[in-house]
Structure 1
């Protein structure tokens, strides 16, 4: 029997106590993120439809609204350049917002809504209940801070997404996993 021992400086360094630094504290508190920032391909395409949108501001106390639309598109006017169809119904307590060109901002109190839409880049359905939220969009870049639960599905240029009670998965240029509307994501773009 022959015994062979190999030794290198690298192996000696790995054996030293100073090489390894152990974390001595463990965080047991769950960490959730209730804010998100995104760049959306759908909103990038919608710039064509909103670049000349006139200024509009609104504020409402208690509200309930239902709207359906079907637009053939291809008209040279704000909101009518791209073909689209959809439905939206919602109700809540307190809502305020402003729109100008590709810029928009909105704040909402407790609310619930359901919507379905189809356009040139995809289709989807969504039901949402929120305690409250604030959001802002500048073309394809959006920021949202809020607390709510989404249930829905969509498919299109952004990939495929499905959520049930705020828990779900998105696969596409931005792949993500959501748990109670807190999200971990990785963007390929």
Structure 2
């Protein structure tokens, strides 16, 4: 062996961007005979260039907010008394606005067995609801609502603004997916809760901390 010639390295050949050859070397044996040594890989050469892995300065920094909750509520367990014989009912509205007040209790009718009184107001775009016995499901578009209630299980007042939400309940078990903020306070068998623009806390069978509509909670049964 008498010398080495024609040495090339990855990225040396600008006209062969897709080549899988990482390294080549021509080895001479005597004066007339040579052997080509080539090292190749299935990895494209572009992956070996540092420019390929350069971090771009315009990385998107948009916030991504997802609020999801699942819970078992002691108050809704008691409310089974009010809803176990509720008849089937479903409705859907494109645009809605409603307000009113109520006061009832100790009547042998669905929703009126537990004494309670309150006022409410709500408005929004797109709403669908279905309910039967202790089961119910609801989906809403952009909406706002407010209400206050006094009952044998507690007192509370809450205002809510949502971009959209979907929820389902089966007695005391509930699941909700949505993006919105709450402002208000309540106290009763379900514990104590206070929120302002989606940020706050609740203490009781379900202890949680909320920050701008997202919640971390721990349920104690």
The CA deviation at 1:32 is: 5.2
TM-score calculated relative to the size of structure 2: 0.70
The total of aligned residue pairs comes to 161
- Counterpart of 1:36 in structure 2 is 69
| Aligned mates of 1:141, 1:159 — CA distance in 2 | 17
- Counterpart of 2:87 in structure 1 is 54
Paired residues of 2:144 and 2:160 also in contact (CA < 8 A) = yes
- Counterpart of 2:213 in structure 1 is 181
| Aligned mates of 1:62, 1:161 — CA distance in 2 | 31
1:113 aligns with 2:169: no
Query: Which consecutive residues of structure 1, in runs of 5 or more, have no partner in the other structure?
Result: 1-27
| Aligned mates of 1:173, 1:45 — CA distance in 2 | 14
Q: Work out which of the residue numbers 51, 65, 69 in structure 1 matches 2:102.
A: 69
The CA deviation at 1:185 is: 1.3
Q: RMSD between aligned alpha carbons? A: 1.6
The CA deviation at 1:188 is: 2.1
TM-score calculated relative to the size of structure 1: 0.81
- Counterpart of 1:126 in structure 2 is 158
Secondary structure of the corresponding residue to residue 92 of structure 1: strand
TM-superposition CA deviations, 1:84-143 (whole Å, max 9, x none): 011110100000010101110000000000010111111110000000000001100000
Structure scoring higher RCO (CA < 8 A, sep ≥ 6) equals 1
| Aligned mates of 1:77, 1:175 — CA distance in 2 | 33
- Counterpart of 2:18 in structure 1 is none
- Counterpart of 1:9 in structure 2 is none
Equivalences for residues 140-155 of structure 1 within 5 A: 140-155=172-187
Q: Mark the structure with the bigger radius of gyration.
A: 2
- Counterpart of 1:104 in structure 2 is 136
TM-superposition CA deviations, 1:6-39 (whole Å, max 9, x none): xxxxxxxxxxxxxxxxxxxxxx998854111011
| Aligned mates of 1:91, 1:50 — CA distance in 2 | 25
- Counterpart of 1:158 in structure 2 is 190
- Counterpart of 2:203 in structure 1 is 171
TM-superposition CA deviations, 1:129-172 (whole Å, max 9, x none): 00000000110000000000100100001111100000001111
Secondary structure of the corresponding residue to residue 91 of structure 2: strand
